[in-house]
Amino acid sequence: MANILDQFSLKGKVALVTGAAYGIGYAIAKAYAEAGAKIAFNCRSQKHMDKALAAYQEDGIEAHGYICDVTKEDEVQKMVADIEKELGTIDILVNNAGIIKRIPMLEMKAEEFRQVVDIDLNAPFIVSKAVIPGMKKKGHGKIINICSMMSELGRETVSAYAAAKGGLKMLTRNICSEFGEYNIQCNGIGPGYIATPQTAPLRERQPDGSRHPFDSFIVSKTPAARWGTTEDLMGPAVFLASDASDFVNGHILYVDGGILAYIGKQPQ
């Protein structure tokens, strides 16, 4: 039997991580590169692309960037064809690109709701559809959808996001159901509250030295008693992309510090 650690290697694999210019997507792409994969990612603008490529270069990662709007099927088909031509068949797809609009439901326009669903749910369908033929031909593939705790929970102001992520959870299970016989595994990662530059304002200390109310709320609801980091997602992402997870399919791996398992402390 081969060394168990060899099962976690991504050496020679081609990985496409959508929206991997920064944050969670960037951390996952970095982990894949360290595990031996060739990295491809997309941005919608040259400005973000240039900034991302500079960051990858600074970290010593040879990443290949493509300008592509993942909600546009023709652009996605071209990107996938270009990646296959330049790097080879895509072995690993991470549907990471996403947005959130925090707007109370009665104040949210249908157009805004559709935009969130388009990026967070329709795009993973479009990109998965584009890479699956190559995976079928190769006889193996990994698709990882970045879901959310909002795939399971509701919360005020995120009706569109929760609806989209709940749909993404079920798309994950359906891809598993439809393509598992072709040795394609489709799983999801559901991050908890992750400390990123975007969430930094929610973690700033108040003038009196106390925690931000939302920071206190999250820490009190998390058995780990802290926010997650992008590094916390790297190991799970490598596992789901590697041969070590070949019999794991249709599963959502929640990396949330235990929030979904916890009812919370009794009020004093």
- Catalytic machinery residues: 161
Tell me which DSSP letter residue 45 carries. Answer: S
Chain centroid, CA 121 distance in Å = 12
Element (H, E) at 161: helix 159-179
Residue 176 corresponds to which amino acid?
C
Chain centroid, CA 117 distance in Å = 15
| Sign of the alpha-carbon torsion through 102, 105, 108, 112 | positive
Chain centroid, CA 119 distance in Å = 12
- Exposure string of 183-218, with b = 16+ CB inside 10 Å and e = fewer, is ebbbbbbbbbbbbbeeeeebbeeeeeeebeeebeeb
Give CA separation, 198 vs 10, 22, 24, 202, in Å.
30, 10, 11, 9
As a whole number of angstroms, the distance between CA 100 and CA 91 comes to 28
Q: Which residues pair with 155 in a beta bridge?
A: none
As a whole number of angstroms, the distance between CA 121 and CA 123 comes to 6
